[in-house]
Structure 1
Amino acid sequence: MFGAPYSRSKRSSAQPMPDYRAGILDSEFGLKGRAVLEAGCFEGNHTVGLAQSGALVTAFDGRVENVVKTQVRCSFFAIKANIVYWNAETQKPGYIADRFDLLHHVGVLYHLSKPIAHLASLLPLIETGVLLDTHVADDMETQVDTFQGLEYRYANFREAGREPPFAGLTPSAQWIHSEDLLSTIRYFGFKNARIIEDRSEPNGKRVCIIASRN
């Protein structure tokens, strides 16, 4: 274990490794030998767990410091993974492959100002399945927006700025209604998309979604 608590109320104790959501992805699809794209590696907790289960991990983050932290943690565990910088609201860089078996997407979507555009760029890269864990706008006052003909409900959420490590990189983010999030995932070919976990957290409602193309 390394690092320190962020505060008395947030990340005040060590996270379990591997995170249980890596286990969900493994039980649903099998991780051994799979090419996995991990969105938002943060400090490498998920990266290590995925790789320890046999996945071939490409992990990215929009904060350079998180890329470095993840590289350090993987080194401590003798884990080999491709850990790179990418701000997920920009065009995919050429050093990230065009095809992956699985997508591990935890704690990122609700920090994005254009989450549907982000999914539209990411989901076509994935051939088999997705695990997506995010806050949703089900219990919030929503507005309606469209992206390439896709209509969706969202709520604006103000981000805390660049300095706090848990904040997004834009002044505000869109939280999507869970029904419209499922519809978007299905639109991009993952017909079997379902919520497997629905929970309340201090900032609001959060869901975990599993989706597959078959």
Structure 2
Amino acid sequence: MIDYQILYQTLRDHGADAWADILPEQLQSAFNPTRHGQLTRWLQAIDDLPELSLSQRVFNEDTVKIGTASDLGDISREQLTTVLKTFSPWRKGPYDLFGIDINTEWRSDWKWNRLKAHISPLKKRLVLDVGCGNGYHGWRMLGAGADLVVGIDPLMLNVMQFHLIRKLAGDVRHFVLPMGIEQIPNGLKAFDTVFSMGVLYHRRSPIDHLLELKDCLRPGGELILESLVVDGGPNEVLLPEHRYAHMRNVWFIPSCEALQGWLKRCGFSNIRLIDVTVTSTEEQRNTDWMDFKSLKDFLDPNDPNLTLEGHPAPKRAIFIAEK
């Protein structure tokens, strides 16, 4: 298991004692094998991996690269590939792990490239990544100079993928925790930068989510918010009756003007819309590492501008705002 002492101490150094005090118990509860049927098998697979010498760790390029094929040592390429496949499906990336290309469902680097020139420099910052998946963007944040990155995600498979990658990468100041933002104590006000990307529309109360994000930021801290959006004016919000692009847990999809209004109402300032992009079937697709249905299967076959349910096809916006 990961040694979390650096995380606990860094939280205390930033005045987040309220979380550092309860986090060990939260993690002990989350990693209880009885809470997930696959957890024991996943942890054993990670523990069985040998310690490998690294000739490279690259976090500042589109593909996160850890090691090379010549670093494999006591484990063969086929053996490592089998272990990596045990943790399928791989949704966020891409990764190159000891020469093994993990071609993930999402080209998460495209999203990073859309925002990286617009955010405040991450050098020496304490960063929170809410709904981080397997931590791909956290590695990019480290590559951009962040002092420490804390990712949170309630899906245990995502957390285990991160644990696997971190075992291969060695000791780094990057952690992914199996929890949601509601488990972070109120009034923390500790993080210099908070990311919430692809989360807002999954929340039953988007305003509460924005206030939770604000509560995690120190005064003057920066929020990077990415969400599905629809076209329209300041009062335009799509509330799907059932599914949206096959997803059941989509609640509110606002227009850019509406979302900007929500941010303002929640007390954020210097709000900027930096990007609006229609999600393409090149950015989100099925691959050998995620061989289930993907975006192309959830669009109207006669009109790719619509989802199967007749809603506008996925379009995403990125906002930056300050506390």
Same fold? TM cut 0.5: yes
Distance (whole Å) between structure 2 residues aligned to residue 82 and residue 6 of structure 1: 18
Distance (whole Å) between structure 2 residues aligned to residue 81 and residue 210 of structure 1: 23
> How far has the Cα of 1:102 moved from its partner?
0.7
Residue identity in the other structure for 1:43: N
> Which has the larger helix fraction?
2
* Gaps in structure 1 of 5+ consecutive residues: 143-150
> How far has the Cα of 1:197 moved from its partner?
0.7
1:123 is the counterpart of 2:201: no
Which residue does 2:61 correspond to in 1? none
| Aligned counterpart in structure 2 of residue 46 of structure 1, from 124, 131, 137 | 137
Which residue does 1:147 correspond to in 2? none
Which residue does 2:195 correspond to in 1? 104
| Aligned counterpart in structure 2 of residue 137 of structure 1, from 230, 247, 253 | 230
Would the alpha carbon gap of residues 211 and 132 (structure 1) be closer, same or farther in structure 2, given more than 3 Å must change?
Answer: same
Distance (whole Å) between structure 2 residues aligned to residue 23 and residue 200 of structure 1: 18
Partner SS, residue 19 of structure 1: helix
> How far has the Cα of 1:171 moved from its partner?
3.9
Distance (whole Å) between structure 2 residues aligned to residue 58 and residue 189 of structure 1: 24
> How far has the Cα of 1:15 moved from its partner?
5.0
Distance (whole Å) between structure 2 residues aligned to residue 63 and residue 12 of structure 1: 16
> How far has the Cα of 1:195 moved from its partner?
0.8
Which residue does 2:291 correspond to in 1? none
> Which has the larger strand fraction?
1
User: 1:22-43 CA deviation, whole Å, 9 max, x = no partner?
Assistant: 623xx53111111111011112
When the two structures are superposed, what TM-score results if normalisation uses the length of structure 2? 0.50
1:210 is the counterpart of 2:320: yes
Which residue does 1:200 correspond to in 2? 278
> How far has the Cα of 1:97 moved from its partner?
4.9
* Gaps in structure 2 of 5+ consecutive residues: 1-64, 66-83, 92-102, 281-312
| Aligned counterpart in structure 2 of residue 156 of structure 1, from 211, 218, 239 | 239
Which residue does 2:154 correspond to in 1? 62
Distance (whole Å) between structure 1 residues aligned to residue 110 and residue 165 of structure 2: 12
Which residue does 1:184 correspond to in 2? 262
Partner SS, residue 28 of structure 1: coil
When the two structures are superposed, what TM-score results if normalisation uses the length of structure 1? 0.72
Partner SS, residue 252 of structure 2: strand
Aligned residues: 190
Distance (whole Å) between structure 2 residues aligned to residue 46 and residue 5 of structure 1: 18
User: 1:93-136 CA deviation, whole Å, 9 max, x = no partner?
Assistant: 34995421111121222222222211122212213111111111
Would the alpha carbon gap of residues 124 and 159 (structure 1) be closer, same or farther in structure 2, given more than 3 Å must change?
Answer: same
1:72 is the counterpart of 2:164: yes
> How far has the Cα of 1:152 moved from its partner?
6.0
Distance (whole Å) between structure 2 residues aligned to residue 11 and residue 71 of structure 1: 17
Would the alpha carbon gap of residues 11 and 67 (structure 1) be closer, same or farther in structure 2, given more than 3 Å must change?
Answer: closer
> How far has the Cα of 1:73 moved from its partner?
2.2
Distance (whole Å) between structure 2 residues aligned to residue 186 and residue 13 of structure 1: 31
> How far has the Cα of 1:181 moved from its partner?
1.2
> How far has the Cα of 1:192 moved from its partner?
0.7
Residue identity in the other structure for 1:209: F
Partner SS, residue 272 of structure 2: strand
Would the alpha carbon gap of residues 57 and 13 (structure 1) be closer, same or farther in structure 2, given more than 3 Å must change?
Answer: closer
Question: Taking every aligned residue pair, what percent have the same amino acid on both sides?
Answer: 23
Residue identity in the other structure for 2:237: Y
